[in-house]
Amino acid sequence: MSQDPPIQIVVFDVDGVMTDGRVTYTSDGQELKSFCIKDGVGIKRLHDSGVRTAIITGRISPMVERRAQELGISHVIQGREDKLSALNELLEAVDVSVDCVAYMGDDLPDLTAIKAAKIGACPSDASSAVMDQADWIASVAGGQGCVREFCDFLLDSALVASAPVASAPVASAPVDSAPVDSATP
The DSSP-derived string for 104-118 is E--SGGGHHHHHHSS
3-state secondary structure 147-173: HHHHHHHHHHCCCECCCCCCCCCHHHC
Backbone angles phi, psi at 83, to 5 degrees: -70, -35
Mean pLDDT over the full length of the chain: 88
Cβ-proximal residues to 109 (8 Å cutoff; 6+ apart), any chain? 13, 58, 81, 82, 83
What pLDDT shows up at residue 146?
98
Range 177-182 average pLDDT? 42
pLDDT band at 163 (very low <50, low <70, confident <90, very high): low
What is the CA 101 to chain-centroid distance, rounded? 10
pLDDT band at 183 (very low <50, low <70, confident <90, very high): very low
Does the structure show a pLDDT above 60 at 176?
A: no
The enclosing domain of 48 has a CATH number of 3.40.50.1000
Backbone angles phi, psi at 136, to 5 degrees: -145, 135
pLDDT band at 110 (very low <50, low <70, confident <90, very high): very high
pLDDT band at 31 (very low <50, low <70, confident <90, very high): confident
Cβ-proximal residues to 98 (8 Å cutoff; 6+ apart), any chain? 87, 88, 91, 116, 117, 118
The answer to whether residue 137 sits within a structural domain is yes
Neighbours of 46 (CB within 10 A): 26
The answer to whether residue 183 sits within a structural domain is no
What pLDDT shows up at residue 162?
65
CA 158 – CA 164 distance, rounded (Å): 13
pLDDT band at 2 (very low <50, low <70, confident <90, very high): very low
- Residues forming a β-bridge with 119: 102
Looking at the structure of the chain, the number of domains it has is 1
Q: For strand 52-56 and strand 136-137, is the pairing parallel, antiparallel, or unpaired?
A: unpaired
Percent of the chain clearing pLDDT 90 (strictly above): 78
Does the structure show a pLDDT above 60 at 174?
A: no
Percent of the chain clearing pLDDT 70 (strictly above): 85
The answer to whether residue 136 sits within a structural domain is yes
What pLDDT shows up at residue 6?
93
Rounded to two decimals, what is the model's pTM?
Answer: 0.85
> What number of residues does the chain have?
185
The answer to whether residue 80 sits within a structural domain is yes
Residues of the domain holding 34: 9-172
Lowest mean pLDDT among 22-36, 51-65, 141-155: 22-36
